[in-house]
């Protein structure tokens, strides 16, 4: 009986730990009243397991504005450890943003919020990911 109880406790603890490590999808960040919801990345290409190109669907809501749906394309470098079955994704660079429902000028403003600039609500996080420092799965 004690073994069964111990086994149950270990299984529950293991499940809780694994759930704590992966927040699931979609993910969200809010800064200065702007809200970004981003969905699970879709891989377009992974050249030689070194260079990764992927896209994310996003919903970006500027402070006091309406949500706009778009796509962010990202290029990154990867380091693969086959033995440990891990991949480190670093040097993320936003290569393109698309907001097809917006006119060119409004789409450019939304792109500025995504990739940086004076009006960018998520600038610190984007810089951290692009430089490879401070990037974690919850943000990138």
C-alpha dihedral over 35, 70, 101, 36, to 10 degrees?
A: 0
Q: What is the predicted pLDDT for the residue at 128?
A: 32
pLDDT above 70 (res 130): no
Phi-psi region of 43 (alpha: psi -120 to 50; beta: other; left: phi over 0): beta
CA of residue 114 relative to chain centroid, distance: 12
pLDDT band at 101 (very low <50, low <70, confident <90, very high): very high
Q: Say which residues have a Cβ less than 8 Å from residue 4's Cβ, sequence separation at least 6.
A: none
On the 0-12 / 13-18 / 19+ scale of CB atoms within 10 A, 92 is buried
pLDDT band at 42 (very low <50, low <70, confident <90, very high): very high
Model-level pTM? 0.66
pLDDT band at 20 (very low <50, low <70, confident <90, very high): low
Q: What is the predicted pLDDT for the residue at 39?
A: 94
Q: How far apart are CA 92 and CA 113, in angstroms?
A: 16
Q: Say which residues have a Cβ less than 8 Å from residue 51's Cβ, sequence separation at least 6.
A: 45, 75, 76, 77, 78
pLDDT band at 32 (very low <50, low <70, confident <90, very high): confident
Find the mean pLDDT for residues 37-44.
94
Q: What is the predicted pLDDT for the residue at 140?
A: 33
Higher pLDDT, 40 or 129: 40
């Amino acid at each position: 009986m004690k073994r069964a109880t111990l086994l149950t406790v270990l299984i529950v603890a293991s499940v809780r730990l694994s759930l704590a490590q992966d927040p699931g999808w979609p993910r969200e960040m809010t800064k200065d009243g702007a809200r970004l919801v981003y969905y699970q990345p879709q891989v377009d290409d992974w050249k030689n397991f070194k260079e990764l190109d992927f896209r994310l669907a996003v919903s970006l809501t500027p402070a006091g504005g309406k949500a706009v749906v778009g796509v962010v394309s990202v290029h990154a470098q990867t380091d693969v450890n086959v033995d440990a079955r891990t991949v480190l994704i670093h040097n993320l660079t936003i290569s393109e943003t698309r907001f097809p429902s917006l006119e060119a000028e409004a789409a450019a403003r939304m792109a500025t919020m995504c990739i940086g600039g004076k009006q960018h609500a998520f600038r610190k996080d984007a810089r951290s990911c692009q430089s490879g420092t401070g990037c974690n799965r919850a943000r990138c």
